[in-house]
Structure formats: structure tokens, C-alpha cells
Structure 1
């Protein structure tokens, strides 16, 4: 007799095992909880972004107050302007009074118009200054954040996306400060003043204003949420396209070499099409929302006009007597002005959505919203003095270092201790992956240690020449002058000769003035390293950290480079990571990794 099986059990499972069916009600509850948590996270992120945006304009607080006061006063003067026009129409046109009787009111009307024009100019100028200050603060914070994360983090990023933080994302907040912020103050003050003035003349019109006003901000918020999501997607797509395009420009030579030009053009076109679609979606939401809001504002004004018209025709009587023509005109003139700040706020609400979307993208790209520096930023360093240093202490001392490369899952350097004496040459040796480059990055201050400490003698500068020096598009001399923009050509030739750059540069058409491509395109790996080494020598640091400086060199060039380094490094200390037996013999001592064994001379090291 065959054993009974449980209906719905998975194929291959024990037939006697019971698999409970998923409860649809529980699944629905879980989905609702996840949606609620997602909504809470988005609300918290929006609140944090709002507070961060407000903090960008701290330096221009006075200008913000000036813009708010100016735009509010300009709105309040609308009441005086409408009153003057209504009085003139009632007194001169309807009551047939001489025009001379109204010259004082006419002069006052001209003064009000002139004052409102001046207040508008003051508002625009002050709001523009606030926007400029906020944009500058954003770029300073973003730059400080990128600089603080160090070169190792930068290697893993797309420069095009980071560039958008300084450009498009910074520009996205401009209208938030120049438009949304002043109007937000205006919408609180001006409609309230107009409603009180109108209530004094005709309470029915004031009731219409108060009853219909909430419709505008209600629909504004509904549309604003969709606009913010669409704006965030558009900025993200723009950042990705910029990174994609920048990466292709950097590799343009290789793409042409391998015949991939047309394929990459198609890829750029597809990325641009994505940006176009996202942008059109944002514009579609903006136009539709503006249409809806204009519709409700127009209907509200029409209700006021309909009430006044029916009152004058005798078809509606809510007062003991029919309002005068001047009173009706006063209310009708102020009706569109009552809703104007609300419409402007609705229009600039998209600027708020774009600014919040930019803040969210900045948080994604930089791993958090960059905070304002409370003190002058110090150079990023992992070198910390944990005890008083004696006058004749060694330049560098490492104790029980534990290091893990950025993004790695395990440590590669464990419990390494050594000290570097003055004028000492120390070679880091060991098989590939033993942590030589990681140790140099930590000593240079690029990589924070997970344990232990590195102690530098005060006043000692550390210089690091890595395996992949970043070279910019420009001449070789321009790349060297990054270390010292004031260096003369004679000084450049001196360090270039010491680093064996002249050995290949003199064969180039323009020598040190020969133009090279981005990231050293057109040079071999060894030539690029020698330029990086020359740039380091131009800085003249007290400790030189060199990562495989003689890789890819022939024996003759390697010997000449080591001889020049020996002359240059007199009075300085050198730590060099190498696989070369010649470099090991050149060094005074060697530190074998990963064991951390210190030897005099060149020991036998496994490949």
C-alpha cells in the first residue's frame, strides 16, 4: 500500500511533510506593512532633505528675510492699489465728480505702483543672492565630502555622475530658493490680508475666498508627490547618462581602435532617449497640474463675479442694500490677487519637488547628505599619534596594524608592526595579494586601519606614488606642475631626469611639452608611473611611498632610476613595494608580507 501524499507538496519532497499554503490575508497584511514602512522611510527622507536644503542658505539668512518682507509688502499694497482704483471709478465715472477731486488718490496710486515695482526688484535681487549662496554651499559641501572620502572611494565612482552633483543637481535648487521660498511666505500673509479687507467690504466674497482657497494647496500636494518622484527619476537618469558619456569619452581611442564607435553611439543615443522620456514626463506633470490649479482658481474668481452680477441684477439679495459699484470692483480686483500667491506657490512647488529630488540623488551618490564643515577641513589621514613623540623619534612607526582593502571581505594585513628610521630604505615584499599596496595606502592616509595605529613625527610630510597615477589631458609638464604650479622648466627637467621621464620624453616631438590623453592615454604603464614618480619628487616629501616604481622597466632604466632615487632620497626615508630583486638589494631592509617579518637585505621571497 502506497503512503498517502500531501496535496500540493513540492516535487521531490517527503510526501509525509506538510507545507502550509500561504494565507492570502497574511500576504495582504504583509504587503500593507511593507508599503507603510516604505512610506515612512520616504517621509523621513523627504523631511531630512527639507532640513538639509534649509541649512544650505544659512549664510544668507538676512537676504531671505529681506526677500520675504519685500514680497509680502508688495502683496499687501495690492489692497491699497485696488482701493484707489475702485474709489476713482466710483467717484469719477459713476458719481460724475470732477477729475481734479481725485488727483490726490491718482498720485497715491502712482506711488503705490512705483513702490511695488521697487519691492519686486528687491525681492528678485535678494532671492537671487540666497540662491547663489545656497548653490555655492552645496558645491562646497559636496566637494568636501568627495575629498574626505579619499582616492580609494573615488576610484570606484563614475566621474560623470559626480560632476552632475556640482552642475545639474546644484542648479536644481536655484528656483527653490529664488522662487518657492519667498512665495511660501507670501502665501501666508497676502491672502489673509486680502480676505480681511474684502470681509470689511462684503462678507459674502470673503466666505467664497475662504471656502475655495483650500482646493489649490490640496491638489498642489497631490500633484507634488508625483512631480517629486518624476523629478528624482529624471535627475538619476541624467546622472547615469553623464557618467556613461564621460566613460565613453575617456575610452574614445580604444573604442575607435576596436571599431566599437557606432555601437557606443547607439548606447549614448539610448541613454539620451531615456533622459528625454523622463524630462517629458516631468513637464507633462507640471503642465497638467498647472492646468488643474488654474481651473480651480478661475472658477473661484468666476463665482465672485457671478455673485456680484446677480446682486446688481437684483436676482440675489444677501445684503440690506445692493453693494456699490466701487465695492464690487474692489472685490473683483482683489479676487484674482487672492489666488495669485496660491497659483505661484503651485508653480514653484515643482521647484521644491526638483530640489528634494536633487537632495535624494546627492544622498544616493555620496552615501549621505554632506554636512557643513564646522572648522577648516583637515586633510584626510589615518595617521594618529597615540603617545608623545620624542625629539629624535623615528619618522614613522606602525603598531599592530590590521588592514582591509576597500570593498574586500577579509583583512589582508594583520598585526604588522615596524618603524622607519631617518634615511632608511624599506622594501615591502611578498606575493601578489599579500597587502603591499594596501599597507602603502594606509601609511599615505588613504585607508583607515581596522586596528592598530600609525604614528608620524610632527612636521613630516608623506608622499605616495601609486601604480595608477592619474594623468590629465595636457602636456607632461602640465601634469608635473600639479605638484607645484610655480615650478620652473629647469626644476621640471631635474625631477623628470631623476624619475627617468626624460629617457622617453626627449624622444617625443615636443619633449615635456608633448600633450598626452586623459588617464595617460598614449603612454605605457611604466612611462605613466615615472611621470607620477616625478610629480611626487617635485613635492619633496620627507617620506616617499612608492608602489612598484620599476615595474615594466628594462634593467638599464631600472638601475638608472634607483641610482637617481638614491641621490634624491638622501636625508629622507623611502618605503617601496616591489617584486624586483634589484630593488630589494637596493633597500636597506625588507618587510615580508603577509607574515610581517623584518629582514636586513633581500631575503628569499616566494613569487
Structure 2
């Protein structure tokens, strides 16, 4: 074989191998997502079993219903028996119809309860997963996309449980009951059922792959549009300031058009697959009718004697019911495809499918993975050989940082902008795991962090303070607000601490927002307080008042303050200089 042909053959084999590996990986991922979906409804497993029992009993009653109708036709119409002889059958038929109606209601109610439990479990898991990832990860995400996990994706999961799951049980139970009942009356009809039934799930499997891909694309487009729209709403003032309002309207329209196109593609697949499956089911029922008609006309003889009209009617009545669960499964199969697509999008957004909420950490512990928390006699906090890299950065910002913090110590972290002061505080707060080194905290000590950009919710100033302590009294709020110099500006507002502010502190200056964040930290009263530039944007008088009040409020606690301010550096009794990481203690520094 020529060398070129050999190389092409080798490349072709490698491509086929990679394709098979990709297909196996995708199949494995699909199985994992399917298993994850099934675990969401574990809390309502009792209701799911009750739904399965109701479906099974309803399937048995379906056979009884067809038998009663066939008996009445055979004996009353054909054999001309008195109608009075069939009154008990009519009564039994009425009871069967009533019971099947009640069982249908029970099935729907149970499926709805399971769907509600699954949706709640999804939201709890997603919320716990987001909390566990921490604030730094959240800063890199689009809130609109994460919101879709709780909204559109949760609705897709709900339809899977309320629509697809009950029908899946029905497909397993009802056709088997019908086939056994028909086989007892006419084995030929049973063979027709068994021979034609596999066509429906085979076609559904083929359609399902395309439906899942289309559904995932549609949910992804919806999440992107939600994130795009939410981002534009948040920056609406800035967009109007720079005259970009009309251009962004066009961007929103383009995003909405993308969602429309994806949605129509999903609907096209749904309508096409339903039409084809209805065709297969109708042809199968027609085959049963054709066999019975030819038998009665004497053109086909597969039995020693021609089946009675009652037997033929019994089989013909059950023929549509044999395929009805399969048709319903086809109609709800897209719920499964959408749920798998939603699971794939959740996996993409969160990095992994979230497990049970109780098993997820809602806060990252402040301790090295290679060491135990420090004992009571040890320093309050100890760092050794820390190497830190901010999320998304391509290189380490801090290397070989070692220091320890004693009780009632004030440590100032100083250095030029970009030297890693905020990164160090984020690591001390437990938000950023060290790449190397150890970080240990004395057992039972709580750490609190007040960053440069505290998140303030829409509501009153008092509501934002009470996030740290919902049971705090007004006097306690005012004491913390006074220590953080919040009252210096809040008392001049129309409603004081009850003044309503906008989301992210709209209506306040950057310094005022930081002081509210500091007051929130003081209200929490942790053993170690991490403060990131708390005196920035303050005039010297307000800064001095804040440091004095902070010294009183933090008495008996340790404080680490990242700062550029000479007054704050003088207020501390130790200095950690970055990026070299050397700890300095100035005996001339006196406590305020």
C-alpha cells in the first residue's frame, strides 16, 4: 500500500476511534444526567409508588371495561338476550369507569406532588451549590443565566416528572396487561401487538437525540438572553448616559429572535415526531381490524373456528389502548429530552450536577486541607508559605506569605495597588483556596469580612444591616451604625436608617456603601475582622472618628485591615508589607 494511502487510513481509523469514544462519553453523560434527574424526586418516593399502583390498577380495569362492553354486544345485541340480564354488567361497567376516573385523578395529583418536590430539590441543590462556590465565583457569572436554573430549567424538570414519568410507568404496565388479556382471547392479535410495538420506541430513540440537542440549544439561548437582558437592565443608566439605548434594544431584539428560532425548531421536531408516531400506531390498529375483518369474511383462517363478534370487539377495543401509552410517551418524550437538556445546561453553568443540598458545603471553611484547626493555646490565625492566585488570573499574585495573628492584634496589610492585599483578605475569609502553603484558624473562632464592594439589596438601610442579625433591636443597629460612621450621613436622610436605597447601594456614594458594609460586619461581631480599605474616600475627620470607634468596638478582637492610609497604618500595631510578605512590629505604635 502506498505511504499516502497508509497515512490516510491511519487518520481515518484515529478519527473513527475518537468518534466512538466521544459517543461513549456522551452516552455515559446522558446516563449520569438521567440518574441525577431520578434522584431529584427521592423525597416524594411514596407518592411515586402510589402513582405506579394507580396506573397498574387502572390498566387492569381497562381490560375489565373492554370485556364488559364486548359481553354486552355479544349477548344483548347478537344473541338477543334480555337487557335485564345485562344490568349487572352495566352497573359493573359504570363502577369501572368511575374507578378509572378516580385513579386518573390520583395519578395526576401524585405526579404533581413529585414534580413539586423535584423542582424544590433542584432549587435547593442549585442554591447550595452556588453558595458553596463562594462570592468570587459568583462575580464571574451572569446572574440572568443563573436565574434561569431556578426558572426555565426547573420548569423543564417539573414537566419531566408530571408528564414523562407517569407515562413511562404506564408504558411498562398497561401494554403488558393488554397483551396478556388479548393473547388469552386471540393469539394472532397479540402477535401483531408484539411485532409492531418496537417500532414506536425505536423511532422515539432516534427523535430523542435530535430533540435533546434542540432543547439544550433552546435552553442555552434562553439563558443567554436572560443574562443579556439582566445585564442591560442593571447598566441602563450608563447605557442611556452614553447614548447606547437604541443599539442595546436591537441587541435584545436579536437575542429574542434567537430564542424564537430555537423554540420553533423544538416545536417542529415535536410535531413531526408526534405525526409519525401517530401514523405507526394507526397502521398497527388497522392491521388488527384488517385481520379480524378478513377472518369474518372467510378470507383468512388462522383458527379452528372464526372468533366470535364479542372476542373480536374485545381485541379491537383494546388495540388502541395498547398503543395509547406509547403515543402518550411520544407526546411526553420531549419532556424527557428537555429535562436532559436542562440538566446539561445546569452542569455547564454550575460546573457539575449539584448533589443533595445537605451534602454541599454552604461556606468554605477557613483551614488548610493538609492541617487541622489550631488548638486554643495556639495563635489565633497562622499562615505559612501561602501562594495565591486570583480566580481567572494567569499568574500568582502572592508567593511565600507567612505570618501569624494573635488575639487582640491589629494587623495592617499595606502595599501598592495590585500587590494582592484584597486577594490575601479573600483567602483569609475562606473565599480563595491557597495554591500552596497552609492557612489555619484557631478552633471556634469566626471570621468576618467587609470588602470594598459590599452588596446592598433594595430595601432600607436597616434591612441591609439586619442581614447580619435579623433579631437585632433598633438600639443595637444604631450602635453598630454609629461605630461605622453610618449615622453621620443616615441621620441627614429623610427616614434615617429606614431610608430605602436601590439595589447595589444605588443612591449612596462608594464610601457610604462601605460604611454600611462595615456596620453589618460589626453587628455580626466576629472574632477576626477583615477590613478592605474601610477608610477610603473619607475626609481626615471622619476617618479619625471611624478608627476611634472601631478601636472601641473591636476591643478584645483581632483586626486585619488592608489600607493605603497613613492614619490606618499608624492605628495598627503590626504591618504586613506586600508583595514581599514581611511582618513588621513597631513598638512606637500606640493603641487608640
TM-score (norm 2): 0.94
Distance change in 2, residues 1:253/1:597 (3 Å): same
Query: Equivalent of 1:582, from 532, 546, 567?
Result: 567
Q: CA deviation at 1:476?
A: 2.1
Contact 2:366 2:441 in 1 (8 A): no
1:408 aligns with 2:393: yes
Q: CA deviation at 1:479?
A: 1.6
Q: CA deviation at 1:503?
A: 2.4
For the residues of structure 2 that align with 1:371 and 1:587, how far apart are their CA atoms? 44
Contact 1:581 1:602 in 2 (8 A): no
Partner of 1:274: 258
Partner of 2:54: 70
| CA RMSD of superposed structures (Å) | 2.2
Query: Equivalent of 2:524, from 533, 539, 542?
Result: 539
Secondary structure, counterpart of 1:575 in structure 2: strand
1:568 aligns with 2:553: yes
Contact 2:129 2:360 in 1 (8 A): no
Within-5 A mapping of 1:300-319: 300-319=284-303
Partner of 1:351: 335
Distance change in 2, residues 1:43/1:465 (3 Å): same
Partner of 1:431: 416
For the residues of structure 2 that align with 1:209 and 1:463, how far apart are their CA atoms? 68
Distance change in 2, residues 1:470/1:68 (3 Å): same
For the residues of structure 1 that align with 2:542 and 2:178, how far apart are their CA atoms? 85
Partner of 1:234: 218
Q: CA deviation at 1:429?
A: 0.8
Secondary structure, counterpart of 2:282 in structure 1: helix
For the residues of structure 1 that align with 2:236 and 2:150, how far apart are their CA atoms? 24
For the residues of structure 2 that align with 1:296 and 1:127, how far apart are their CA atoms? 28
Partner of 1:449: 434
Distance change in 2, residues 1:374/1:504 (3 Å): closer
Contact 1:587 1:601 in 2 (8 A): no
Query: Equivalent of 1:245, from 223, 226, 229?
Result: 229
Unaligned ranges ≥5, structure 2: none
Partner of 1:49: 33
Partner of 1:81: 65
Partner of 2:541: 556
Within-5 A mapping of 1:32-431: 32-373=16-357, 375=359, 377=361, 379-384=363-368, 386=371, 389=374, 391-431=376-416
Q: CA deviation at 1:501?
A: 2.0
Q: CA deviation at 1:163?
A: 1.0
Q: CA deviation at 1:94?
A: 1.0
For the residues of structure 2 that align with 1:459 and 1:478, how far apart are their CA atoms? 28
Say which is worse superposed, 478-487 or 274-283, in terms of deviation.
478-487
Contact 1:440 1:547 in 2 (8 A): yes
Contact 1:77 1:112 in 2 (8 A): yes
Say which is worse superposed, 185-194 or 163-172, in terms of deviation.
185-194
Secondary structure, counterpart of 1:173 in structure 2: helix
Partner of 1:464: 449
Secondary structure, counterpart of 1:546 in structure 2: strand
Say which is worse superposed, 35-44 or 151-160, in terms of deviation.
35-44
Q: CA deviation at 1:512?
A: 2.6
Contact 2:380 2:406 in 1 (8 A): yes
Paired residue total: 585
TM-score (norm 1): 0.92
1:500 aligns with 2:485: yes
For the residues of structure 2 that align with 1:524 and 1:341, how far apart are their CA atoms? 63
For the residues of structure 2 that align with 1:309 and 1:439, how far apart are their CA atoms? 85
